């Protein structure tokens, strides 16, 4: 029924899109109201290998974690059924979880109905083809109900013998950078783009799913050969940067995912101000190295190093997220991770969750009825 309130008619409500600063302010307000445990939960992205919507909803409701990664075990036969899965994971639509998927296309593709071009052909095509392919791919991801694509491989190598070769978008720094930028622009606002695997698998032989690849490449050589695609993708506005489990020993013996120095480089030298996310922390356990046998310790170390979002897949069960959250709380209480570091991470992730809600309208304290 039309309003008969003359004053309301004379003073119409005006809405305007929120700027980045307003989104960050709103995230800071939300995080300030959280307990330490809630902040710890707000930096964890979990996984449960099932399509049972009731189990998934209970998991997200009980854990209160920031997000969920969709793997093959979460993908039903068709898009409609997948939307039911992602719908069950969204307990609070006003602050939805980050629902992520590894949808590179080609060799790494969770959506079997994604037939768009991928790295094996895009690396030899005009960059415009990458923009088109990732625009289409992002649409599939968004239609499925996911908000984050861990899909843009910024690693670069000319060596077909490297495990990352078929997934890389280019065989030289300039070509890779052009296609990474095109992919980021193609995904646009449909989903949040992620650049991976910083600082670059192209220089470190080996597969980080089963070990910790390492290289003695100098920082100067890295800046010339491996950095350009990441720099270009950051400048193009990619909101997430995934840190790989690989070591550049001249910079830090620790894997980049656990290296405060590599996080400093990304923030201070490359200007990245988005969400730093780990590659699957379970891969550290899979390396078989005794120093990475404790999944909770790995997560705490990753947070302390500068990651904002802790991703866990391998070896995860229904209790993994809770154990990691409790481990973070204990680490804050012991002083191993400062409350300021946890709060910073929580604010970045929460801001991205706000943006993923597909609305940039913030509550208005003085708007008319």
DSSP assigned state of 197: E
Return the bridge partners of 193, or none: 149
Residue 101 to residue 90: CA distance in whole angstroms? 15
Instruction: For strands 108-109 and 103-105, give the pairing.
Output: antiparallel
Specify the pLDDT at position 17. Answer: 58
CB 194 within 8 A of CB 227: no
Can you give the pLDDT at residue 189? 81
- pLDDT score recorded for residue 369: 35
Burial of 223 from C-beta contacts in 10 A (0-12 / 13-18 / 19+): middle
Residue 195 near residue 233 (C-beta atoms within 8 A) = yes
Residues in the chain where the model's pLDDT stays below 70: 1-20, 358-369
Q: Which residues contact 330 (CB under 8 A, 6 or more apart)?
A: none
C-alpha–C-alpha distance, residues 141 and 311, integer Å: 19
pLDDT at 203: 87
What pLDDT was estimated at residue 360?
37
Cα distance between residue 352 and residue 165, in whole Å: 30
H or E element, residue 98: strand 98-101
Give the HSE-up count for residue 153: Cα atoms under 13 Å, Cβ half-sphere.
27
CA distance 289 to 147: 34
Helix H or strand E segment including 181:
helix 173-187
Alpha-carbon separation of residue 271 from 239, 240, 242, 332, 357 (angstroms): 12, 13, 15, 27, 26
Give the pLDDT confidence of 185-241 residue by residue, as tens digits: 999 989 999 999 999 998 887 777 888 889 999 999 999 999 999 999 999 999 999
User: Which residues are bridge partners to 100 per DSSP?
Assistant: 69, 148
Kindly report whether the global pTM for this prediction surpasses the value 0.75. Answer: yes
């Amino acid at each position: 029924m039309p309003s008969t309130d003359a004053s309301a008619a004379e003073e119409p409500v005006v809405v305007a899109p929120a700027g980045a600063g307003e989104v960050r302010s709103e995230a800071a307000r939300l995080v300030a109201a959280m307990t330490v445990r809630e902040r710890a939960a707000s930096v964890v992205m979990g996984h449960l290998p099932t399509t049972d919507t009731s189990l998934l909803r209970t998991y997200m409701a009980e854990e209160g974690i920031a997000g969920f990664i969709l793997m093959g075990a979460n993908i039903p036969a068709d898009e409609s059924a997948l939307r039911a899965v992602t719908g069950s994971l969204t307990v609070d639509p006003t602050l939805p979880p980050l629902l992520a998927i590894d949808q590179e296309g080609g060799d790494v593709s969770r959506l079997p109905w994604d037939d768009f071009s991928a790295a094996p052909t895009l690396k030899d095509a005009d960059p415009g083809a990458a923009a088109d392919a990732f625009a289409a791919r992002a649409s599939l991801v968004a239609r499925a109900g996911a908000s984050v694509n861990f899909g843009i491989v910024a690693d670069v190598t000319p060596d077909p013998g490297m495990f990352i070769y078929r997934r890389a978008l280019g065989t030289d720094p300039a070509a890779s950078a052009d296609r990474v930028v095109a992919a980021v622009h193609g995904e646009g606002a449909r989903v949040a783009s992620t650049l991976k695997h910083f600082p670059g698998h192209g220089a470190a032989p080996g597969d980080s799913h089963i070990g910790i690849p390492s290289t003695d490449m100098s920082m100067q050589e890295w800046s010339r050969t491996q950095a350009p695609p990441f720099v270009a993708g950051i400048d193009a506005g990619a909101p997430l940067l995934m840190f790989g489990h690989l070591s550049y020993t001249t910079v830090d013996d620790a894997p980049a995912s656990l290296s405060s120095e590599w996080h400093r480089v990304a923030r201070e030298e490359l200007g990245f101000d988005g969400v730093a996310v780990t590659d699957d922390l379970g891969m550290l356990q899979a390396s078989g190295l005794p120093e990475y046998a404790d999944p909770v310790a790995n997560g705490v170390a990753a947070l302390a190093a500068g990651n904002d979002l802790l991703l866990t897949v391998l070896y995860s069960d229904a209790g993994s997220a809770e154990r990691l959250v409790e481990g973070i709380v204990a680490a804050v209480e012991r002083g191993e991770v400062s409350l300021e570091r946890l709060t910073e991470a929580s604010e970045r992730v929460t801001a991205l969750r706000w943006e993923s809600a597909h609305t940039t309208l913030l509550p208005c304290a003085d708007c008319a009825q």
